[in-house]
Structure 1
Amino acid sequence: MAKTSPAEFINQVRAEARKIVWPTGRETLQTTIMVLIMTTILALFFLGVDTVFNAIVSWLTSLAR
């Protein structure tokens, strides 16, 4: 593997940084809203699953008494 000088490395980093395409404000807002919606849906789903498992475990432990 060829070694690069620090100056060449900096130039390569700058060249790669110029290729970055930043999202617009609207795209960022849309993505944020979608993440919040999906997080809420998943939280409700796992709340339901946890409630069902809690009921099953409570029922099983009541049988052991």
Structure 2
Amino acid sequence: MAKVSPGEFVNQVRTEGSKIVWPTGRETIMTAVMVVIMTSLLGIFFFGIDTFFGAIVQWLLGFAAGQA
């Protein structure tokens, strides 16, 4: 790797930074809203699955305790 001076490094960083295409404010807000919606849906889904399997385990434990 070639060594460059600190000034040249800063110039290269500025050049690369100018190539970045930043999202618009609307795109950022829409993406954030979609993330909130999807995480909420997944949270509800996994809560339902956890509740369902918890009920099954409780039923099996109660069934096993009754058989002893």
TM-score range, shorter chain: 0.7 to 0.9
2:41 maps to 1:41: yes
Which runs of 5 or more structure 2 residues have no equivalent in the other structure?
none
In the alignment, the residues of structure 2 paired with residue 64 and residue 29 of structure 1 have an alpha-carbon distance, to the nearest angstrom, of: 52
State the TM-score, normalized to the length of structure 2: 0.82
| Poorly superposed stretches of 4+, deviation over 2 Å | none
Matched to 2:56, the amino acid is: I
Map residues 1-65 of structure 1 onto 2, 5 A cutoff.
Answer: 1-65=1-65
State the TM-score, normalized to the length of structure 1: 0.85
Deviation at 1:63, TM superposition (A): 2.8
Matched to 1:13, the amino acid is: V
Query: Which structure has the larger Rg over C-alpha atoms?
Result: 2
Which runs of 5 or more structure 1 residues have no equivalent in the other structure?
none
In the alignment, the residues of structure 2 paired with residue 26 and residue 13 of structure 1 have an alpha-carbon distance, to the nearest angstrom, of: 27
Matched to 2:4, the amino acid is: T
CA RMSD in angstroms comes to 1.2
Report the identity percentage: 63
Deviation at 1:10, TM superposition (A): 0.8
Matched to 2:61, the amino acid is: T
